[in-house]
Amino acid sequence: MAGKIGFRVHAPWRRPDAALLAAFGKISSAQAADGMSRLGAMDSGIRPVWPSPRIVGPALTVWCHSGDNLMLHKALALAAPGDIVLVNTQGNTGNSVFGELMATSAVRIGVRGVIVDGTVRDADALQSLGLPVYARGICPNGCNKDGAGEVGAIIACGQVAVRPGDIIIADRDGVTVIPLDDAAEAAKLAAAQVEREKKRLAEIGEGVLVRPEIDEALRRLRIID
Q: Is residue 81 part of a domain?
A: yes
* CATH number for 38: 3.50.30.40
**pLDDT digit string (tens) for 39-63?**
999 999 999 999 999 999 999 999 9
Beta-carbon contacts of 87 under 8 Å, excluding residues fewer than 6 positions away, are 62, 63, 64, 72, 97, 98, 114, 115, 116, 117, 118, 155, 157
**pLDDT digit string (tens) for 76-125?**
999 999 999 999 999 999 999 999 999 999 999 999 999 999 999 999 99
> What single-letter DSSP state applies at residue 96?
B
Q: Is residue 206 part of a domain?
A: no
Q: Is residue 222 part of a domain?
A: no
Helix axes 70-78, 100-109, angle to 10 degrees: 20
**Closest alpha carbon to 193 in 5, 38, 80:** 38
Q: Is residue 147 part of a domain?
A: yes
Q: Is residue 211 part of a domain?
A: no
> What single-letter DSSP state applies at residue 54?
P
Q: How many domains does the chain have?
A: 1
Q: Give the range of the structural domain holding residue 100, as residue numbers without chain letter.
A: 2-199
Q: Is residue 205 part of a domain?
A: no
Question: How long a stretch of residues is the chain?
Answer: 225
